[in-house]
Amino acid sequence: MGSDGLLRCPWGVSPVDYRTYHDREWGRPTGEEALVFERLCLEGFQSGLSWLTILHKREAFRRAFAGFHPEVLARFRESDVARLLRDPGIVRHRGKIQAALDNARLTMRLHEAGESLAAICWSFEPSVHPVPECREDVPAVTACSRGLAADLRRRGFRFVGPTTAYALMQALGLVNDHLRECFARPEVDRERAEFQRPC
């Protein structure tokens, strides 16, 4: 229980950045392409780090990566990579930076083919949605996340293993992993029920 008297998932009680993300974003469905792409990139940058590190750096990431609009990032060149590697506000990992830019180009290729990254992700929404009672009930990998990761890798996307893919599914609202007693769970369920899936 937080200081405001609300029951939350244990990880979302504190610090304040976790609480804000837990309460306002995590699990709430989105199909907006730039947001989907941003979350794909940030989940990739988080690999090997804490999510709190990414939350602290998110605004700097947005500035450095042009708001994660793939049509802009697809035009970044080696000079931009060099600039990003000098930016202390972000995670300066050449492989992850290059993957974000390459993934932006692949996303634009999807658009040219009449597809979207959002629709691909949402096509892996599971048909069964267990309600977790405790944190041990929340998986790190599922059959659907393995399928999403395999599909994205087949298309050339990088830094999208099954664990990253499941974290992406949680962030985008494909699953509602708020615990049964968490105050946000019924809110997220309502939002998911009203959400228009991208296709």
Could you state, in order of their start, the residue ranges of all structural domains in the chain? 10-194
Q: What is the CATH number of domain 10-194?
A: 1.10.340.30
Neighbours of 23 (CB within 10 A): 18
Let me know if 33 is a catalytic residue: no
Neighbours of 17 (CB within 10 A): 14
The pair of structure tokens assigned to 193 is: 């029920």
* 122 tagged catalytic: no
Backbone angles phi, psi at 61, to 5 degrees: -60, -45
1 pLDDT more than 80: no
Stretch 23-49: mean pLDDT? 93
Calculate the average pLDDT of the chain. 94
Query: Which tens digit of pLDDT belongs to each residue from 146-161?
Result: 999 999 999 999 999 9
Active-site annotation holder among 21, 26, 122, 166: 21
Q: In b/e form, how buried is each residue of 28-65, taking b as 16+ CB within 10 angstroms?
A: bbbbebbbbbbbbbbbbbbbeeebeebbebbeebeebb
**Given 11, 25, 51, 125, the catalytic residue:** 51
In percent, the amount of the chain with pLDDT more than 90 equals 89
**Over residues 22-38, mean pLDDT:** 95
Within its chain, how far is the Cα of 54 from the centroid? 11
- Closest among 36, 65, 54, 120 to 91, alpha carbons compared: 54
> Can you give the pTM of this predicted structure?
0.91
Annotated active-site residue in 18, 38, 43, 166: 43
3-class secondary-structure state, position 4? coil
Q: Are 27 and 65 in contact (CB under 8 A)?
A: no
**What pLDDT was estimated at residue 193?**
94
